[in-house]
Amino acid sequence: MTRTALVLGAGMVGVSCALALQKRGFTVTLIDRREPGRETSYGNAGVLARSSIAPLNNPSLYGKLAGYLGNGHPALNLSWRRALTRPGWLLRFLWEGRPSQAAARIAALDSITASTVERHRALMAEAGVAHRLRENGTLKLWRSEAGHAAAQAEHHFLKRHGIASRLLDRQGISAVEPHLNPIFRAGLLIPSNASVDSPGAVTAAYAALFAGRGGQIVQAEVKALTRQDAGWRAATDKGTFEAGIAVVALGPWSGDLLKPLGLDPRLDVERGYHRHLKPEARATLSRPIYDVDAAYFMAPMEQGYRVTSGVDLSFRDAPDAHRQIDGVTEAAREAFPLGAVAGETWRGARPTLPDSLPMIGEAPGNPGLWLAFGNQHIGFSTGPITGEMIAAMVCGETPPADPKPFRPERYIG
């Protein structure tokens, strides 16, 4: 049982944990009910978000709340039933956004995003998918005149944290992305961000790399996780699996297997949607754009132009609510010459803790049970460093980022 590990969940976070443990000599079994990279790690916007260092619930959210609560803004769809059934979570989420917490949380996010592109570049080369990486930044765009001030404020904020960006006016935007319709007044090009043309394929390629190095991938539904004398046991619909340690990396489902162990990580979800659209004529975008006023990403993908929606705060398993994705599909058509929708509308759920930071560490009172989830809006970007942090801590090494802000004890007593 020594140096054996079960990794539960084969999204970007779980696959990264599996690779990092394997690199340190562990015999790893990676278990997922689907093929690797078919859930949240499939449907995201594919942005390697070096610049995402401001937590979603920052002090500026308070000023926007009134505009959001009536469900008139594309950034948020709030199910009042969910809010009233679980008011504690939402209140804690708002409370964690208070000004006194901002600097520490920005520093924490900075520590896990700083090496995002470098880590993915190395893994993509090893996995033979380097051609999927675009290192030409992301472009944030504002339609209104007020966008100039907002772009400037963000430019200065990023500069204070050592992240370069370039302010653009209407002409500058056209020079960078000539096929965008001229509806944007201000832009911010962030060259240190990168993107991929298929996050699902990249996650699958990392899983194939793990398997190629001798790792075992099991497609099975995990029903329960229990402690053994010398480790952990996962009961699945395909039998039981045992190992010295277990890593829970089940994304938005991570809480389900922990609750029977008496552990409540306060994990909730922010649902989101995507659609693919074909471009009209020969229109092209060379990098993901974020339309601030209409609250969507549009990213060039293998399957077409992927438009992703804002946050849907409904119960994780409730039926789809298409108000936001319908709205942003129309808004995207104003920005760029798009034709027909290709394929189905996809729904996923960003795994979120109230302080917008992931949980990375050993579960209190449960030696050998490691938690790696809650990567919220940037889990595709931060999966690799999450895996390295877990594997380093398991082996008693110094992790590549200070683990304190991510310790499970902040929510699990």
For β-strands 369-373 and 359-362, DSSP reports them as antiparallel
- Hey, what long-range contacts does 166-174 have (CB within 8 A, 24 or more apart)? 166/191, 168/139, 173/139, 173/141
Give 362's strand partners: 370
Residue 198 as a binder of ligand FAD (CB under 6 A): the answer is no
Residue 384 as a binder of ligand FAD (CB under 6 A): the answer is no
> Of the two residues 4 and 324, which places its CB atom closer to ligand FAD in the complex?
324
- The residue within the footprint of ligand FAD, chosen from 5, 18, 45, 248 (CB under 6 A), is 45
Pick the closest to residue 347 from 381, 374, 319 (CA basis).
319
The CA distance from 277 to 275, in Å, is: 7
- The residue within the footprint of ligand FAD, chosen from 32, 110, 177, 293 (CB under 6 A), is 32
Q: What residues contact 324, with CB distance under 8 A and at least 6 apart?
A: 74, 77, 273, 295, 309, 310, 312
Residue 47 as a binder of ligand FAD (CB under 6 A): the answer is yes
DSSP assignment, residue 354?
Answer: T
Part of the chain binding ligand FAD (CB under 6 A), chosen from 10-18, 360-368, 390-398, 402-410: 10-18
Which residues, numbered 268-307, are part of the site for ligand FAD (CB under 6 A)?
A: 272, 274
Q: Which amino acid is at 395?
A: C
* Token couple for 107: 């520093």
CB 391 within 8 A of CB 361: no
Q: What residues contact 149, with CB distance under 8 A and at least 6 apart?
A: none
Q: How many chain residues interact with ligand FAD (CB under 6 A)? A: 41
CB 327 within 8 A of CB 339: no
Part of the chain binding ligand FAD (CB under 6 A), chosen from 148-156, 183-191, 239-247, 378-386: 378-386
Part of the chain binding ligand FAD (CB under 6 A), chosen from 66-74, 160-168, 209-217, 347-355: 347-355
As a 3-state breakdown, the chain gives helix, strand, coil percent values, each rounded to 5, of 35, 25, 35
Nearest-approach distance from CB 146 to ligand FAD, in angstroms: 25
- The residue within the footprint of ligand FAD, chosen from 4, 20, 30, 33 (CB under 6 A), is 33
> Of the two residues 252 and 399, which places its CB atom closer to ligand FAD in the complex?
252
DSSP string, 179-219: TS-TT-SEEEEETT-EEES-HHHHHHHHHHHHHHTT-EEEE
Part of the chain binding ligand FAD (CB under 6 A), chosen from 82-90, 127-135, 179-187, 372-380: 372-380
Part of the chain binding ligand FAD (CB under 6 A), chosen from 55-63, 92-100, 123-131, 376-384: 376-384
- The residue within the footprint of ligand FAD, chosen from 147, 215, 300, 351 (CB under 6 A), is 351
CB 179 within 8 A of CB 284: yes
Nearest-approach distance from CB 375 to ligand FAD, in angstroms: 4
- The residue within the footprint of ligand FAD, chosen from 4, 115, 192, 308 (CB under 6 A), is 308
- The helix or strand, by DSSP H or E, that contains position 345, with its residue range, turns out to be strand 338-352
Part of the chain binding ligand FAD (CB under 6 A), chosen from 58-66, 243-251, 322-330, 405-413: 243-251
The CA distance from 211 to 209, in Å, is: 5
> Of the two residues 111 and 185, which places its CB atom closer to ligand FAD in the complex?
111
Nearest-approach distance from CB 129 to ligand FAD, in angstroms: 16
Nearest-approach distance from CB 244 to ligand FAD, in angstroms: 20
- The residue within the footprint of ligand FAD, chosen from 68, 142, 184, 253 (CB under 6 A), is 253
DSSP assignment, residue 397?
Answer: P
Nearest-approach distance from CB 368 to ligand FAD, in angstroms: 19
* Token couple for 324: 């936001």
Q: Is residue 399 classed as helix, strand or coil in its secondary structure? A: coil
Residue 74 as a binder of ligand FAD (CB under 6 A): the answer is no
- The residue within the footprint of ligand FAD, chosen from 215, 231, 244, 251 (CB under 6 A), is 251
Site residues for ligand FAD per CB under 6 A = 9-14, 31-34, 38-41, 43-47, 49, 221-222, 249-253, 272, 274, 308, 348, 350-351, 373, 375-381
